Amino acid sequence: MKLRSLMITVATAVLAAGVAKAEPVKLTVWSDTARIEPFKAFDAAHDNIELEIVTVAPPDQTAKLQLAMRSGDDVPDVIFMAELQQIAQLSTRRSNYLMDLSDRLDQSVVDSFLPNALSPCQSGDGRLLCLRNDLAHFIAWYDKPKFDELGLSVPTTWEEFEEIGKVAAENGLIVGSGTQPTPILNMLIAGGCEPGFLVDGSDDTIRVDFSSEGCIAAAAMVDRMRENGSLSPHGPFEPSFVTDVKDGKLLMFNGPTWFGEHVMRPLYELDAGILAASESLKWEDQAQPQAWSWGGGVFGGHRNTEHPDEVVELIRWMTTDTGLQGRATTMPAHAESSSVWRDRVANDPWYAQNDVYDKMETSAQYGHPSYGGYRFDIMAAFSKVDGASDASIVDKLPDYAAEIENSAKVAGYKIAN
């Protein structure tokens, strides 16, 4: 009996020693400054995983990662990508970094995101290369007291928006920027312009078309609104535009979901009770809106990591943990987390109405399915054309197409006929 007790004691001690010696899996993550605290929160909540957090500025991330992959040293296990073109840049034959999550995540996880949220993460051949952190689709922001004062109804169509612009111009007000490329691109895409969308089933062939009737009509609307002054000749971050807003001249602005919290509140310093939101706009002949986006980051993992299960768990937790995402400062892409986040927005007395989140959520389904990242910067192509010409948007449509096609070819894309 004593011998048996001794053996049990020794065995227990050996097992205990084995448990004590178990070391947490160490993962290296590359983060922007905004994601440092969320990564730390994951670290604190997982005893079995230890994170080494390296801060890398988003514009430098792709080049540094490509260099690390060539040398084989210090390749991170997980990265946060603030720039969506990184998805395409880091899934090529030469820079094949991103892990395919398709067979590593339960379908229930994939289905738990808001409509179209994961479109930027889906490759042409069906791979899921990342999970989305936040949404940034365009909605309509407006000054509710001014709308009430002028007796205006909130527009639901682009035709109505142009009419609102006429009223704004007559009263010395503006309804947006006529020079900032991304809001203009949203208007053009809403009309049917195709500034380089991937052809279905392909990762290297894009379609560029600025010649459709709807595209030209959208460009003509922008030109008319620039001419009558309802669209400002200044960008929304330029001092002149900011001054106009602070002087009470902004009636409306079609902008992303983060624009209220991160621009209108801190930069424009709008008082409480002014800002309200409405759904993405559509053209009268459309069944529903088509909304472009301006931002929305993603998490991706290294396809050759030594710890794939832990990498997947980190990416899943960072994007779906309701405790974390419910406290986010931008609209979560994960549906349940987003509904938790809703309460914070709905109860914020700074907004003129408590339905701001509801408008964001409804508009999420209108997010354009072709929104995503490419191996070149579409907005840079727009800016290059705009910087070289003061012509009307309609007249510049062929130039946009030519510049985008040239940039795409340099990046290795084929152009569909």
Q: What are the pLDDT digits (tens) for 333-381?
A: 999 999 999 999 999 999 999 999 999 999 999 999 999 888 998 999 9
Residue 25 Cα to chain centre, angstroms: 31
Q: What are the pLDDT digits (tens) for 222-240?
A: 999 999 999 999 999 999 9
Number of domains in the chain: 2
Residues 269 and 314 in one domain: no
Query: Dihedral (C-alpha) 242, 247, 252, 253: value to the nearest 10 degrees?
Result: 0
Pair of tokens at residue 188: 């053009």
Helices (H), 192-321: 213-228, 239-246, 259, 308-320
Residues 269 and 388 in one domain: yes
Q: What are the pLDDT digits (tens) for 153-200?
A: 999 999 999 999 999 999 999 999 999 999 999 999 999 999 999 998
Q: Looking at the domain assignment, is residue 102 inside a domain?
A: yes
Residue 126 pLDDT greater than 60, yes or no: yes
> Positive or negative CA dihedral for 276, 277, 278, 282?
positive
The whole-angstrom separation of Cα 325 and Cα 331 is: 9
In this prediction, residue 93 carries a pLDDT of: 85
Q: Looking at the domain assignment, is residue 148 inside a domain?
A: yes
Residues 403 and 261 in one domain: yes
The whole-angstrom separation of Cα 376 and Cα 85 is: 7
Nearest to 36 by CA among 50, 20, 17, 56: 56
CATH number at residue 57: 3.40.190.10
> Containing H/E element for 28?
strand 25-31
Residue 254's domain comprises 138-291+376-415
Q: What are the pLDDT digits (tens) for 251-284?
A: 999 999 999 999 999 999 999 999 999 999 999 9
Residues 124 and 184 in one domain: no
Q: Is the model's pTM score more than 0.85? A: yes
In this prediction, residue 15 carries a pLDDT of: 47
Residues 216 and 324 in one domain: no
Residues 237 and 305 in one domain: no
Residues 208 and 302 in one domain: no
- Which residues have a Cβ under 8 Å from the Cβ of 16 and sit 6 or more positions away? none
The whole-angstrom separation of Cα 279 and Cα 386 is: 29
3-state secondary structure at position 134 = strand
Q: Looking at the domain assignment, is residue 152 inside a domain?
A: yes
Question: Counting every residue, how long is the chain?
Answer: 417
Could you tell me which residues are beta bridge partners of residue 91?
96
Query: Percent of the chain scored above 70 by pLDDT?
Result: 95
Residues 124 and 55 in one domain: yes
Query: Dihedral (C-alpha) 358, 360, 363, 367: value to the nearest 10 degrees?
Result: -150
Q: Looking at the domain assignment, is residue 13 inside a domain?
A: no
387: pLDDT confidence band, cut at 50, 70 and 90? confident
